[in-house]
Every structure is written in C-alpha cells, then in structure tokens.
Amino acid sequence: AGSRRQGTAGTPRRSRRRKSLAIAYEAGQGGGAEPRWEPQHWREQLQRIREMRSSRDAPVDEMGVHRCYDSGAPPEVMRYQVLLALMLSSQTKDQVTSAAMLRLRQRGLSVDSVLQMDEETLGRIIYPVGFWRNKVKYIKQTTAILKQKYGGDIPSTVEELVQLPGVGPKMAHLAMHIAWDSVAGIAVDTHVHRISNRLKWVKKETKNPEETRVALEEWLPRDLWKEINWLLVGFGQQTCLPVNPRCSQCLNQDICPAAKRL
C-alpha cells in the first residue's frame, strides 16, 4: 500500500515518473466539489445482469482462472499457479486455458518445476493457448524473476506485477483479487470493455480496456470492483456476445443504449 501512496506524493521527479500509476490506483477517490457522474439506469442494469448470471453456468464460472489452481497447494504455489493461469488466459478461451493448466498441474506445477522444464516441453504442454510461443518465453522469464527476487512467490502489488514479462494490468488486478484477496482496481478484459461501452458506463467511448478501467473506477463504487469482472465476463460469453449479441434474451433490452429492439 505504501508504494501506491508514494505515486501521488514525494519529489517532483518521482511524481512525473509514476503519474500514470497514481491515476491507476487512485481514480475515483478524489474529494472534489463537483457531483460524481453516473450512467443512467446503471443500478437497474447491474441487478438484471446479476439475475442473468445467477445460474453461474458460463465458461468463466466452470473454467475461469479461479478454478485453475490447486487450492490445496502451499499459498505461494497457489499464487504462482494463479499468475500462470492468467498469463495463459490472454486471448485464449477459458476451456483451453483450463486444459493447459490441468496438464501443467499433472506435472507438479511450481516455480521450480517450470524452471527445470525446457522451452520445447513447456510449449508442448500449453499448446494450443493463444500466442503460446511468446507465452513460453514470458513464463520462463517471469518465473526466473519470481525465484530470484520474490523467493518463489508473486509480488503483492499491481505496480510490481505489471513489471513482470507478459503480465498486463488486467492480469495484475485479477492476481490481486484471486491470489491476494485484495482489490487494487477493476480487472477489465475485452468483455468488460465491450459491455461497458454498450451500456454507456463510460462518459465517452473508450478505445481499449485500460481506458475503460480508468473510466469505470471514476464512478463505480469500490465495493463492486471485484464483482464486476466476473459478472460481465460471463454475461459477455453468454448474452452480450461480440458479434450478434442476443438482445432478445437480455433483461436489459429496454434500458440498454445498444440494444437491438425488434
């Protein structure tokens, strides 16, 4: 927590260098006199999405990262498995990530086991995850850093996590949620990015998930930050699809700005 506070205080040089991080961690916490902007109907939309997600039968529910690690492993091994699953999950379907993690765990997945594994073997195990060749390199590099710098554990701050090869902001925030049970920000992937723009949960259209994260953190109550990823990812997998969204099946059809009304 201390490192995050330093992002907005301290010397001018440090402030310049870490300005983007300060925005990332402290958006929405200001005490300005201007009333906070909120999207129209967002509470009703959120409650209806909860209703649509109540059966918990989307791919993310059964095979998401929170299901990919060995809950009986030592805490540092569990956290490492969470991070690895997140690295594999980028641009990869949950089903494929889950299968790759199962194959890795069958070989005793830990920092030491991956360090002892050659790249060809690692690649064969994780294939066909998206961009598997790049991920082999990132996993080997990151695992070596974890061994040397963190004693085989993973960092406990977003700032340190995003410095690891192959780890982006979404992965870092989810790692904080799942591995450390800490909410440092909203984890925004393509589903959350797409749905937030369709529902007009952003003041103006955002171009990428990171812009969406900052925009959401400016108004969404902090106690919802952890829930929103799980809700919207499953909603995006089942109903609010990237192409041909199933608007006729959506409870928000009457109050969604992007709904196709028949």
Residues recognised as catalytic: 170
Cβ neighbours around 240 below 10 Å, total: 25
- On the 0-12 / 13-18 / 19+ scale of CB atoms within 10 A, 58 is buried
Whose tokens are 């909410």? That residue is 183
| CA gap 208, 194 in Å, rounded | 9
Q: Among positive and negative, which fits the CA dihedral 138, 193, 230, 37?
A: positive
E-state strands within the chain: none
User: Cα angle at 213 between 212 and 214, to 5 degrees?
Assistant: 90
Spell 112-134 as b/e; 16+ CB within 10 A means b. eebeebeeeebbebbeebeebee
Concatenated DSSP letters of 7-57: TSSS-HHHHHHTHHHHHHHHTT----SSPPP--TTHHHHHHHHHHHTTT--
